[in-house]
Structure 1
C-alpha cells in the first residue's frame, strides 16, 4: 500500500460519524449510529459497555479549567468542543497545554481543576524534593488523586526518502540511526531488514526535539527498553544524543523532515499525517508492524495496571513482541481528585470525562491523529469516573 493509501486507511479505521445535538435536554441521547448499535448490543448482553457506548450526559452548568500535556491538546480541543455542543454550552471547559510538569504543579497548587500529563504522578522525589503523589493528595483534601488514561498518542518515526514507501526498522536500528552510528540509508543493516526495498545511498539527517518533551521521554523509554544494548543513553524529557539537529516542538521536527531529503525524526502521529510523511513500520521481534488504531490498541491492551483500585497508572510494555502490536506509544492521563473538589466542579468534570471516555468521544479522535482506548480500558476508565465523589 502506498503512503497516501496508508494515511487514508488510518484516518478511516473506526471513525464514527458524529451527530449534532440540539440543546442540553437532548444532550447525550443522540449518539452516532455505530455507538448506538454498540450500546444496544451491550444492553442486550447486560454488559457495562452500554454506558461506555451511549455516554448519557447530565450536562450540568459551571466551568472547568484543565492544564498540562501538549501532546493531548488537539484531543482536548475536539472533545471539549463536542461536549459543549452536545450540552448547549451549559458547561464551559478550558484546557491550557502548558506541558505536563506545569499542569501537575498548577493542579497541586489548586490553580486548575484537573491536570493532563504524559506520565502518571510520580511517587519519588523530584529535584526540588516534591513527591507528586503526596502533593496531589494534599491538594485533594487528603484524598487520593487518580491517574485516568484517556488519550493514546501513537509516536511515528517519520522519514523522507524518495522511492521508499515502505520501510521497516527495529529499535536497535533506530538507536544506531539516532546516535549517528548508521549514516546512510543503504547501510547493510537497514538493507537486511528491508530485503525487497531499493534503498538509496542518501545521507541520513536526524532531527530531534530541542526542548523538554513528553514525546522525547516516551521515545527514549521505548528505545531503552526495547534495545537496551544499542541505546546506552539515559531516558528523560531532554533528548540525550548529540547526532543530528534539534528543532522546536513537533511542528518543528515535522517541517524539517518534510523539507529535507533523507531525514528522519520522531513525532506524534497527527504531525506525520498533516505533513504527508512516510512512517516506518516497527519490528520489535515479531515482524514489522504498521501504525494504525488496531495495532496501537493491541499494545495498550498489553499494558499492566500498576495503580491500586480506581487509580489506573499504567506500565507500558515497550519491549512487547506480540504480533501486530505497535510498541511506540504515548498514553496521556487526566489527573483528578478522587474526592475533595467542589461539588459543582465534580459534577461537570465527571460528565465531561464520561463523554471523553465513551465510544463517541474516543471515536472522533482518530481523525485528529490519535488512537482510541481499547474497549477493556474504556470500561475501566468509566468505572473510575463513576467512583469520583
Structure 2
C-alpha cells in the first residue's frame, strides 16, 4: 500500500504471542495509578496484535494496567502492523496496534467487521533510529540523500565520499555496507520510507511502502530481528524504533543546516506541524506527518503508532475491557509509563483529552 502518511505500529521477529498480563481498568476507572485496585470490577481477556515497535511500551503499559486490574489479561502478538490490522479486520483480535493508519479499503472492511464506526487514535510517538555497527566510528552523521543512497544500495562502502562529506572528522573504514531492512510488512518501514521519499527524493526512489522495495541487503522479521541482524554483523546499518536501539550506534540526520539525533523531544516537535487526514470520521485521528521538514530541532524520521478498536462490541464486558485498556494507554499515567519504559514522546494534553472523549464512547451493541 502506498501511503504518504504517518502512522504508528510494526512487526516482529518473535513468531510467538507475547502474552502480557494486563489489567484493564473500567470505563469509570480511567485505569489511572490513583485508582484503588480493589474496586476494579473488570475481568477477562483481551487479545491484540500489531506493531512490534510498541513492544517496550506495551510492557510498560502492562505493568501499570495490571496493578490496577489484576483480574484482566491482555495478550499482544507483535506480529507487525500489517498483520495486526489484518487480524483485527478478520475478527481475530479485539484491538490492533499499527505504525500505519488504515487506508480507505481497510477502514471500510474494519467498519464491516465492527458493525460500527472504528476507533483509530495515535497513542505512541517515537523516533525511528538509523542504527549501525561500525567499530571505531561514533557520532555518525547522515544527510537524507546519503541515507537514501545507502539503503537503496547506491553507496556500498563506509569510506564513500558522500559519507565522508557528512563526517569530515571521522576515520571511516573501507568496510562493505550491509543495509538491513524489515522482511515483513511493517509500519516502521512505511514511516521510514516516507521520510526518505520526502527528504531525499533524489537519493531514494523506492517510494513510501510497507514492504521493502529494494533487492539486496539483508532482511529480518520484526524490530527485534533488524536489531539482532545489525548487532550480528560489522558494517551493518538498519532502521528501528529508537527505544530498541540498545548499545548500537545511532546516526544523527541532517535537518536544514544541522544534524539532529532521535530524541523523544525532537520527535515530538514534528507533531506540531502535522495535520489530520481529511475525510475521516470523528473517531479517527489519522495524521499526515511532514517528514520533509527543515525546521530546526525537529527529528523527521518518526513513527506515530495507533491503537485500533471498534466503537461497539457484541457484549458489555468486552466493551468495558477495551475501553479500560485504551483509557489507560492514552492517559497521562500511561503515556508517562511509555516515556519511561520505551523512550517515547508523551501525547500533548489536548490530544489526550480528545482521545479520552472518543474512547468514552465505546459501548455494547
Aligned equivalents of 1:381 and 1:318: distance in 2? 24
1:140 maps to which of 114, 127, 138: 114
Q: Which runs of 5+ in 2 are unaligned?
A: 1-22
Q: Number of residue pairs matched?
A: 335
Tell me, in whole angstroms, the C-alpha distance in 1 between the residues paired with 2:138 and 2:61.
Answer: 33
Equivalent residue number for residue 68 of structure 1: 50
Match for residue 143 of structure 2?
170
Taking structure 1 as the reference length, the TM-score comes to 0.77
Question: Equivalent residue of 1:72, what SS?
Answer: helix
Quick check: 1:137–1:144 contact (8 Å CA) kept in 2?
yes
1:289 aligns with 2:260: yes
Aligned to 2:163: 190
Distance 1:233 1:360, change over 3 A: same
Secondary structure in structure 2 of the residue aligned to 1:387: coil
The answer for the alignment partner of 1:80 in structure 2 is: 62
Shift of 1:176: 0.9
**What residue number does 1:277 align with?**
248
Change (3 A) 1:289 1:146: same
Matching residue of 1:127: none
Paired residue for 2:76?
95
Change (3 A) 1:207 1:103: closer
Question: In the TM superposition, what is the alpha-carbon distance from 1:337 to its structure 2 partner?
Answer: 1.7
Q: Structure 2: how far apart are the matches of 1:269 and 1:156?
A: 5
Contact 2:255 2:296 in 1 (8 A): no
Q: Which residue of 1 aligns with 2:353?
A: 379
Q: In structure 1, the residue corresponding to 2:360 is in which secondary structure?
A: helix
What is the Cα-based RMSD across aligned positions, in Å? 2.9
The yes-or-no answer on 1:252 pairing with 2:225 is: yes
Q: How does 1:354-365 map to 2 (within 5 A)?
A: 354-365=327-338
State the partner residue of 2:304: 331
Task: Say if 2:193 and 2:207, in contact at 8 Å, map to a contact too.
Answer: yes
Taking the aligned partners of 1:387 and 1:26, their CA distance within structure 2 comes to 14
The equivalent residue for 1:262 is 235
Q: Is the CA contact 1:169–1:282 (under 8 Å) kept in the aligned structure 2?
A: yes
Q: Which residue of 1 aligns with 2:18?
A: none
Q: Which residue of 2 aligns with 1:9?
A: none
Contact in 1 for aligned 2:131/2:248 (Cα 8 Å): yes
Change (3 A) 1:285 1:358: same
Superimposed CA distance per residue, residues 320-365 of structure 1 (whole angstroms, 9 cap, x where no aligned partner): 2221111111222111222345222222222221111122211222
Deviation larger for 54-63 or 156-165? 54-63
Secondary structure of the equivalent of 1:237? coil
1:157 to 130, 150, 153: 130
Runs (4 or more) in structure 1 with deviation over 4 Å come to 23-31, 54-58
Name the CA distance, whole Å, in 2 between partners of 1:259 and 1:60. Answer: 47
Q: Distance in 1 between matches of 2:47 and 2:329?
A: 15
Q: Is the alpha carbon distance of 1:263 and 1:233 closer, same or farther for their aligned partners in structure 2, counting shifts above 3 Å?
A: same
What is the CA–CA distance in structure 1 between the aligned matches of 2:202 and 2:39, rounded to whole Å?
A: 53
TM-score (norm 2): 0.82
| Unpaired segments ≥5 residues, structure 1 | 1-20, 32-53, 124-130
